[in-house]
């Protein structure tokens, strides 16, 4: 399998980045729901689950930067034949997924009031303690962290985390299954198969 994308399918790097992102999003949800449902506040288990969630979120942020760079330098294969509406829906869906992959980790980081102990290896300072926070939020916007955190947390947790991410992922999966089982084209195989089927 080629590392680079080919006209008939995605290369190994694009596939690896795609599936790694999917696994990381799953891990982010598992860690945050474990924290909410199975731990008590102020316990080591709660703190560990939070730090895993934050570490995974930072990793997603790095991976999405790599994905964007790779996509810009190595364009994806052309879409399978379909109507202009199908192509528009596919393009719109991918744009929205990339926006989510950017906005979810970003709002998670800037709205967190604790340092990230990145997979318990090293510490990443919280946004509140950075010069960017002072310059943008305090000086330019005239807000305290508490004032800033509330709307950012609402976007990250209540809008993105509870609704938008799930709807977009469900739409993405349903579109792949539609192409595979109803249209019977190679859309799903281009991201899963190791060779042309």
Residue 3 falls within a domain, yes or no? no
Q: Domain count of the chain?
A: 1
Q: State residue 195's pLDDT score.
A: 58
HEC letters along 59-73: HHHHHHHHHHHHHHH
pLDDT band at 103 (very low <50, low <70, confident <90, very high): very high
The tens digit of pLDDT for each residue in 155-177 reads 999 999 999 999 999 999 999 99
Report the run of H or E that residue 190 belongs to, with start and end.
helix 189-192
pLDDT for 69 beyond 50: yes
User: Is 37 within a domain?
Assistant: yes
Residue for token digits 């945050």? 32
Bridge partners of 123, per DSSP, are 117
Determine the Cα–Cα distance for residues 127 and 105; give it in Å rounded to an integer. 12
Instruction: Let me know if residue 57 belongs to a domain.
Output: yes
Per-residue model confidence (pLDDT) at position 186: 87
**pLDDT of 197 higher than 50:** no
- Per-residue pLDDT at 191 exceeds 80: yes
Predicted pLDDT of residue 192:
87
The confidence band for 64, taking pLDDT boundaries of 50, 70 and 90, is very high
**Residue range 67-82: mean pLDDT, rounded:** 93
- Report in angstroms the alpha-carbon separations of 127 from 52, 90, 172: 17, 35, 32
Q: What is the mean pLDDT of residues 21-43?
A: 95
Other residues' Cβ atoms within 10 Å of the Cβ of residue 74: 14
Strands of 55-164 (E only): list them.
Answer: 116-118, 122-124
* pLDDT above 70: percentage of residues in the chain: 98
Q: Is 155 part of any domain? A: yes
- Mean of per-residue pLDDT scores for the chain: 94
pTM value? 0.90
CATH code where residue 51 lies? 1.20.950
Range of the domain at 90: 12-192
21 belongs to a structural domain: yes
The answer to the question of residue 2 being in a domain is no
- 193 or 109: which leads in pLDDT: 109
| CA atoms of 76 and 117, how far apart (whole Å) | 35
Specify if 6 maps to a domain.
Answer: no
Q: Does residue 7 lie within any of the structural domains?
A: no
Please measure the distance between the N-terminal and C-terminal CA atoms of the chain and give it in whole angstroms. 13
Are 67 and 100 contacting, i.e. CB atoms less than 8 angstroms apart? no
pLDDT at 20 over 70: yes
Q: What are phi and psi of 11, to 5 degrees?
A: -80, 175
pLDDT digits (tens, 9 = 90+) for 117-158: 999 999 999 999 999 999 999 999 999 999 999 999 999 999
């Amino acid at each position: 399998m080629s590392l680079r994308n080919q006209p008939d399918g995605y290369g190994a790097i694009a596939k690896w980045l795609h599936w790694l992102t999917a696994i990381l999003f799953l891990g982010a949800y598992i860690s945050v729901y474990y924290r909410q449902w199975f731990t008590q506040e102020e316990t080591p288990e709660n703190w560990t689950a939070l730090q895993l969630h934050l570490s995974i979120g930072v990793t997603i942020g790095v991976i999405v930067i790599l994905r964007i760079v790779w996509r810009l330098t190595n364009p994806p294969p052309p879409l399978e034949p379909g109507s202009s509406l199908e192509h528009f829906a596919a393009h719109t869906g991918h744009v929205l997924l990339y926006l989510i992959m950017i906005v979810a980790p970003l709002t998670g980081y800037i709205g967190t009031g604790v340092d990230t102990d990145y997979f318990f290896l090293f510490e990443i300072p919280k946004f509140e303690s950075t010069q960017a926070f002072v310059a943008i939020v305090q000086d330019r916007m005239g807000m305290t962290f508490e004032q800033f955190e509330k709307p950012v947390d609402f976007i990250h947790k209540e809008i993105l985390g509870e609704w938008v991410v799930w709807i977009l992922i469900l739409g993405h999966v349903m579109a792949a299954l539609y192409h595979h089982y109803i249209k019977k084209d190679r859309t799903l195989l281009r991201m899963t198969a190791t060779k042309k089927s």
